[in-house]
Amino acid sequence: MNTQQASSIHRRITGALAAAIAGLAVLGAAPAQAEDIDLYSGTGGAVAAPNVLFFLDNSSNWSAAAQAWSKSGAQAKCSANYPSGSPTLARCLGYVEQVFGSDSSLLQGQVELRALRLVLTNLVCASTATLKLNAGTMLFNPNGTADGASVMSGYLRQRVAPMDATRCAEMLADLEAIDAKITTPDFKGPSSAEYGAPLFEAFKYFGGYARPPGTGGGTPLADATHYGPVRYSKAIDLEDPRAFLDAAKPTYAGPAGGSSCVAN
């Protein structure tokens, strides 16, 4: 799987997610990219599904009352962007209906969570879906880091694993559970979040074996603050224990169901 192919699936997922969040119907209106997307359909049987880790930005704004989105406002954006009676307008309004349901307003984070559920349901988990993924989720970890740095790191809420029927049900249910408890201390994150440490944690989860150009030969230092899969963040009860090699949770197991040639 080369960089162009990985970029194609990234565009497909992030484009669909952005469309659902904004209430804009572009999933069916975007130019077809069958040549690339077919590589991820699983029909050939030889292409490994890519590993996709969704980092949910649960910093404080995502559950702040001032950041609420109204259903009527989203519907108005649909009407402002698409011609009356057009299929794209109908699709846009349909997305708004699926995300908001009977709610007249939702917090920003709830819109994001429901949009992600919608995208996974339609593109990955539906019986007719052909997009194959290994997927997981990550959130901010307020428990500190191994070197005592005063920064927020991240934690693996759901390990990256193949999105079969069982896994789909688990992931979708967990996103719904976070939605229901979005203003609780467990999921209302910090007010001044930074992103370097959580992304370093993601790097550790994916193996931590990259070496920047020009660093010379020899074996790279592998510990919590350097290379390798030893965690940088401190443990948190909310993380998925299956993301680790054992119950003590010092070392990441890496994505489940992956292969040496899979794209991350």
For 152, the token pair is 């927020």
pLDDT for residue 190: 81
φ/ψ region of 22 (left if φ > 0, alpha if ψ in -120 to 50, else beta) reads alpha
pLDDT for residue 136: 97
Q: Which of 171, 146, 145 is nearest to 53 (CA)?
A: 171
Tell me if 256 is assigned to some domain. Answer: no
C-alpha triplet 117, 193, 8: angle, nearest 5° = 45
pLDDT for residue 48: 80
Pairing between β-strand 134-141 and β-strand 105-106 as defined by DSSP bridges: unpaired
pLDDT for residue 259: 52
Three-state DSSP at 225 gives coil
**C-alpha radius of gyration, the chain, whole number:** 20
Tell me if 47 is assigned to some domain. Answer: yes
Stated length of the chain = 264
Please state the domain count of the chain: 1
pLDDT for residue 59: 92
Three-state DSSP at 60 gives helix
Please list the helix, strand and coil fractions of the chain in percent, rounded to the nearest 5, in that order: 40, 15, 45
pLDDT for residue 173: 98
Tell me if 264 is assigned to some domain. Answer: no
Tell me if 252 is assigned to some domain. Answer: no
Tell me if 260 is assigned to some domain. Answer: no
C-alpha triplet 110, 113, 117: angle, nearest 5° = 135
Residue keyed to tokens 């307008």: 89
CB 39 within 8 A of CB 90: no
Tell me if 95 is assigned to some domain. Answer: yes
pLDDT for residue 1: 45
How far apart, in whole angstroms, are the C-alpha atoms of residue 110 and residue 69? Answer: 9
C-alpha triplet 229, 119, 99: angle, nearest 5° = 120
Q: What are phi and psi of 256, to 5 degrees?
A: -85, 140
The DSSP result for 98-140, as a single string, is HHHTT-SEE-HHHHHHHHHHHHHIIIIISTT-----EEEEEEE
| DSSP H or E segment with residue 234 | none
What one-letter code names the amino acid at 131?
L
Tell me if 249 is assigned to some domain. Answer: no
What one-letter code names the amino acid at 139?
L
What are the per-10-residue average pLDDT scores of the chain (264 residues)? 49 53 37 42 62 94 92 95 95 95 96 96 92 94 88 94 96 97 92 89 89 62 88 96 94 77 77
How far apart, in whole angstroms, are the C-alpha atoms of residue 173 and residue 256? Answer: 20
**Domain span including residue 23:** 3-243
Tell me if 145 is assigned to some domain. Answer: yes
